Structure 1
Amino acid sequence: MGPKVDPETQSLRKELEDLYKKIQESQQQCADTTLESACESAENVPPIKLVTRKMMKGHLNKVNSVHYSGDSRHCVTGSLDGKLIIWDTYTGNKVQIIPLRSAWVMSVTFAVSGNFVACGGMDNMCTIYDLNNRDASGVAKMSRELAGYDGFLSSCRFLDDTSIITGSGDMKICKWDLETGRKTTDVSAHNGDVVSISLSLDGNSFVTGSVDKTCMLWDVRDMKPKQVFFGHTADVNSVCFHPSGYAFATGSEDKSARMFDIRADQQISHYKPPSEKSGFTSCGLSVSGRIILCGSDDNNVHMWDTLKGTHNGLLSGHENRVTSLSVAPNGIGIATCSWDQNVRVWG
């Protein structure tokens, strides 16, 4: 039995759900076509055959998060073994191993410059490491600990080397100045845990996904929400900005991936796995935006043609749920990590 909800909260929740339904109904009235029918004349994408180019072993527990550096060569992974590992994806070698104060890491991020990595999780903190500044034992020095959350840290992304955005289990989005270590913005964002953040290529906008089943578009410059997107029927575990800047993809616990158009203010495509038993933990888009990739709790990465909505194959190899995936900024490879303790680079 869950906690008892007082009648007032119940009626407010019902009012909110009714408002969501009304918004969706009015959106559907404006939807004059679907992406699939608008793209009927487009050529089909041939089946994509990617293979594991590098199998990177080194973690001793579940690997929860992976993120590429801006150089498309290095990536960082965070595991419940209490370690961050910086990898060279070309050689498969470990570049650095960073021991963490807390093993409960849920999210990692690499600064585009390659100078810093950050991580956080159940320690309710975001910790920044300076990769160019090492201690006597050769380990990257911790440069900041950003505390002040009332919930776990679920997601973080560097805007640049001096600022970072974080999302957390206390439903908030925060922006931090890394030179002072101070919070510059603290916004109540969603009606549930914020679980994913994706930045636009121009760095002016970002999208968040939440346990409240919605996604939100934000402007980095004033840190205010601009649009809310509905459609998913369960937690939105992952969001990924489309390279065009006009749309974003999502992967959800409701066993679907979707595409939302910012200009149309609504969902424009719905991607389903061949057997509807796969919940999605993570998502990414090819550099052209033509292929969406989603890591799944069925141990595979599913791919679809974004325009046609057709399933375009699987990346199979992991032996447990795929927890996170990151597409190299130049599109040359895809890094995935899993509860099977391994990290794979596909190409």
Structure 2
Amino acid sequence: MACQGLQKGETLESLKRESETLKKKLEEERNKLNDVELHQVAEKVEALGALSMKTRRVLKGHGNKVLCMDWCKDKRRMVSSSQDGKVIVWDAFTLNKEHGVPLPCTWVLACAYAPSGCAIACGGLDNKCSVVPLSLDKNENLAAKKKSVAMHTNYVSGCTFTSSDMQILTSSGDGTCALWDVESGQLLQSFHGHTADVLSLDLAPSETGNTFVSGGCDMKANVWDMRSGQNIQSFENHESDINCVKYYPSGDAFASASDDATCRFYDLRADREVAVYQKDSIIFGASTCDFSLSGRLLFAGYNDYTINVWDVLKGTRASILFGHENRVSRVRVSPDGTALASASWDSTLRIWA
């Protein structure tokens, strides 16, 4: 099929070479516009004072690796999912477990809280994303009310509700992202553009945000328009899988964390990477990242059990958080910015403040 449209004298090889030269030309044109790096602009900015964050709570209850967690908008509750096949809803103040939902598969890779706080979504190796309505009755069988909303042809790696409880975005190992209607389970829009597993997605933070960013095993970070399904920006700077992408609080930029042991910062208006967060002493992959509420700090969890805190503007490391006994799978700053929660393969969650 692919060869039908070839002109005379053209081969796939010659077309490949042509596309490579065009790519190089585009890069050169792009680079002509690059004037300064972020840390040069930030030279006059005051350095950060010493950060003293400590573990304030340890949440124990999962029987295996904790793979994902999310905060509720009420700044108090959290949901976490684990390789033990369970999803737990916690009260982060009292450490009480409010709900436990067993799922038919182990490796629940993704979980998310609905904006209203009345439901959670989760998915994993069963290729499905399910929504579970939460109730005040502690004894109610939530697993029976679980509703399958999304179906992929491979594992579900990430899920997030859009600005309402009615729509959900998923990313999958089948190389696509998709937007679903929660009520009917219908596919509203699919996003094709990655050439390998999509490992992470994040929704633009503004209320009217119609864009989201995704990252995956093809080392690409793509920005999408949710209404048209078009890939509007693409960044290829990493040298290994992108494990996590996260929007800057203003929505004008995003960060990515990768197995190449770096985190990178991209400005969408400048259409390029503006900072790299790395140190020669850091040789382990970064699995997750999140910004502080002001956007000045970037928290990144690594496979060497630590969380590094980066000064976003200066590009320097502000602090290291030690405490977990296995790789850190997820970090999330609470909605009011007062605490950081981390999930780990040591089967615990920690809250730092």
TM-score range, shorter chain: over 0.9
C-alpha separation in 2, matches of 1:142 and 1:270: 45
Which of 118, 135, 150 matches 2:121?
118
TM-superposed deviation, 1:132: 2.6
Taking a change above 3 Å as real, the CA distance of residues 332 and 146 of structure 1, as seen in their structure-2 partners, is: same
Q: How does 1:144-293 map to 2 (within 5 A)?
A: 144-159=147-162, 160-202=164-206, 203-273=209-279, 275-293=281-299
Deviations 1:261-291 (A, max 9, x none): 0000010000004513121000000011000
TM-score, normalising length: structure 1: 0.92
Decide whether aligned partners of structure 1 residues 321 and 136 sit closer, same or farther in structure 2, where only a CA change above 3 A counts.
closer
> Deviations for 1:38-70, whole angstroms, at most 9, x for unmatched residues?
111100111322111110000010111111111
Cα 1:68–1:141 change in 2 (3 A) is farther
Select the structure that is richer in strand.
Answer: 1
Distance in 2 between the 1:204 and 1:214 partners?
Answer: 20
In structure 1, C-alpha distance between the alignment counterparts of 2:89 and 2:18, rounded to whole Å? 47
Aligned residue in 1 for 2:3: none
Partner in structure 2 of residue 78 of structure 1: 81
Alignment partner of 1:95 out of 98, 101, 108 = 98
Deviation at 1:186, TM superposition (A): 1.9
Q: What letter corresponds to residue 30 of structure 2 in structure 1?
A: Q
Match of 1:43 in 2: 46
Q: Could you tell me which runs of 5 or more consecutive residues in structure 2 were left unpaired when the two chains were aligned.
A: 1-10
Q: RMSD between aligned alpha carbons?
A: 2.1
Shift of 1:134: 6.2
Tell me how far apart the structure 1 counterparts of residues 126 and 13 of structure 2 sit (CA, whole Å).
31
Q: Distance in 2 between matches of 1:132 and 1:9?
A: 58
Identity of aligned residues (%): 38
**Structure-2 change in CA distance of 1:109 and 1:40 (3 Å):** same
Gaps of 5+ in 1: 1-7
- Decide which moves more: 197-206 or 164-173: 197-206
Maintained 8 Å contact 2:159/2:171 = yes
Q: Displacement of 1:184 after TM fit?
A: 1.1
C-alpha deviation, 1:188, in angstroms: 1.4
Count of matched residue pairs: 340
The verdict on how the C-alpha distance between 1:191 and 1:290 changes in structure 2, with shifts beyond 3 A counting, is same
Alpha-carbon deviations, 1:5-29, whole Å to 9, x = none? xxx9999887766655544333222
Larger displacement relative to structure 2 (252-261 or 211-220)? 211-220
Q: Tell me whether 1:127 sits opposite 2:133 in the alignment.
A: no
Q: 1:17 to 1:225 in 2, by over 3 A?
A: same
> Contact between 2:275 and 2:315, CA under 8 Å: does it hold in 1?
yes
Query: Which residue type is aligned with residue 204 of structure 2?
Result: S
Say if 1:51 and 1:19 are closer, same or farther in 2 by CA, change over 3 A.
farther
Query: Could you say what secondary structure the match of 2:104 adopts?
Result: coil
Mapped contact 1:106–1:153 kept (Cα < 8 A)? yes
SS of residue in 1 equivalent to 2:32? helix
Larger Rg: 2
After superposition, the Cα gap between the structure-2 partners of 1:157 and 1:87, relative to the gap in structure 1 and judged at 3 Å, is same
Question: Which residue number in structure 2 is paired with residue 4 of structure 1?
Answer: none
Residue matched to 1:27: 30
CA distance in 2, matches of 1:192, 1:9: 22
- Match of 2:7? none
Q: TM-score, normalised by structure 2?
A: 0.91
Superposed displacement of residue 79, structure 1: 0.5
